[in-house]
Amino acid sequence: MSVKLDTAKLDRLIADAPGEFSMIVRESAFAISGDAARRAPYDTGALSTGIHATEMGLALWRVQDSVEYGIFQELGFVHRHGGQFIQNPFMIPAVEAERPHFYRNIREFFRR
């Protein structure tokens, strides 16, 4: 009796993974970027319109804002007039909202 190990599906997964993962991460990066822009506080629009996604490498993307005060809106600050504590998180909520979709896409890739 002989046993033959069929690695065809595994080989295909290995071959497809870099390209597929790049597409999945890209999709999530743009989803996070759009959602963060929607969630960001809006006055002049500088914060929300400056949020963008940039490809940094294979399956590696960075989503960031473009203004120096973005981190204060995200993490909170005390307003210089009146001393009110203000916080309008936009980036982390967007990441967390996308997390289930990202995991679902990864799972679907392995189910093929």
Name the minimum Å distance from CB 72 to other proteins.
7
Name the minimum Å distance from CB 45 to other proteins.
23
Paired tokens of 75: 């993490």
Give the footprint of other proteins on residues 66-105 (CB under 8 A): 71-72, 75-78, 80, 82-87, 89, 92-97, 100
For other proteins, the closer CB: 12 or 104: 104
Residues in the chain: 112
Is 60 a residue that touches other proteins (CB under 8 A)? Answer: no
Paired tokens of 49: 């319109």
Angle among Cα 57, 55, 14 to the nearest 5 degrees reads 45
- Whether the CB-CB separation of 77 and 50 falls below 8 Å is answered with no
Size of the site for other proteins (CB under 8 A): 21
Residue 109 CB contacts under 8 Å (≥ 6 apart), including other chains: 13, 16, 17, 20, 21, 24
For other proteins, the closer CB: 8 or 110: 110
For other proteins, the closer CB: 58 or 78: 78
Name the minimum Å distance from CB 59 to other proteins.
21
Q: Is 99 helix (H, G, I), strand (E, B) or coil?
A: helix
Which parts of this chain interact with other proteins (CB under 8 A)?
A: 71-72, 75-78, 80, 82-87, 89, 92-97, 100
